């Protein structure tokens, strides 16, 4: 929903269709290949445009974008799209870091839903968090999970573990790129700094 919003607001009248997203993603990949880690590295986003469910549990939280210029080109949209993807992934890392502080040190993410169709997000979920990422082969894992629950309710299997073993498909896995670790560690420090600055601004009388 956030990426759709970015396209609507900054896309010069573009609608956030699957085709539009793929055109943006293709151009982002070209620009990343051209500029390397420096691509849009002065642009920073907090993705809380609709509050923060986790780990802050603040429904009144607001998004932040820092580093905009007077540029309404397609490439400017691509830069903002890319950094919004980075922010979404860093939000996942924020959750994982908070879980780690509570004693849950996770190293694998299983991803389902529409995010699986966005190659930028799938790459970032892996590289920005340092986790192994597994995506199912089935095109709609959420529906498969519903079917598993229905199969148990209908008596075809004794419990969800048995249904999962019988009905689940294998998945595609991705391992983090160690070479990008320093870049995303820096981005995460900046991400947390943006949170602190937002809190400071909102606390001012």
In a domain, 151, yes or no: no
Interval 45-71: pLDDT, tens: 999 999 999 999 999 999 999 999 999
In a domain, 45, yes or no: yes
Number of domains in the chain: 1
In a domain, 76, yes or no: yes
In a domain, 43, yes or no: yes
Residue 175 DSSP label:
-
In a domain, 116, yes or no: no
Q: Is the pLDDT of residue 22 over 90?
A: yes
Q: Token match 């502080």: residue?
A: 101
Residue 142: predicted pLDDT: 79
pTM for the full model? 0.89
Count of residues in the chain: 205
Task: Sort strands 132-136 and 44-46 into parallel, antiparallel or unpaired.
Answer: unpaired
In a domain, 130, yes or no: no
In a domain, 170, yes or no: no
Structural domain including 195 reads 2-103+178-203
Buried b (16+ CB within 10 A) or exposed e, 99-136: eeeeeeeeeebebbeebbebebbbbbbbbbbbbebbbb
The CA distance from 130 to 125, in Å, is 8
Interval 168-189: pLDDT, tens: 877 789 999 999 999 999 999 9
In a domain, 188, yes or no: yes
> How many helices and strands (H and E) does the chain possess?
7, 5
* Mean pLDDT (the chain, rounded): 93
Residue 83: predicted pLDDT: 98
Interval 106-143: pLDDT, tens: 999 988 888 888 999 999 999 999 999 998 887 777 78
What share of the chain in percent tops pLDDT 70? 100
Q: Which element (helix H / strand E) includes 189?
A: helix 181-203
Going by pLDDT thresholds of 50, 70 and 90, the confidence category of residue 144 is confident
The CA distance from 164 to 159, in Å, is 9
């Amino acid at each position: 929903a956030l990426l759709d919003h970015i396209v609507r607001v900054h896309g010069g009248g573009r609608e956030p269709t699957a085709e539009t997203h793929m055109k943006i993603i293709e151009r982002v990949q070209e620009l990343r290949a051209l500029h390397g880690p420096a691509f849009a590295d002065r642009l920073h986003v907090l993705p809380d445009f609709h509050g923060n469910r986790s780990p802050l549990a603040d429904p009144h939280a607001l998004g932040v974008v820092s580093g905009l210029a007077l540029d309404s080109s397609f490439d400017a949209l691509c830069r903002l799209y890319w950094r919004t993807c980075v922010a979404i992934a860093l939000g996942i890392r924020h959750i994982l870091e908070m879980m780690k502080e509570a004693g849950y040190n996770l190293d694998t993410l299983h991803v389902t839903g529409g995010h699986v169709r966005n190659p930028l997000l799938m790459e970032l979920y892996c590289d920005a968090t340092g986790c192994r990422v597994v995506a199912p082969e089935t095109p709609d894992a959420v529906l498969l999970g519903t079917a598993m629950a229905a199969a148990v309710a209908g008596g075809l299997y004794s419990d969800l573990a048995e249904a999962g073993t019988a009905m689940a498909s294998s998945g595609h896995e991705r391992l983090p790129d160690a070479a990008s670790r320093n870049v995303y560690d820096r981005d995460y420090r900046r991400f947390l700094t943006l949170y602190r600055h937002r809190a400071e601004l909102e606390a001012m009388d």
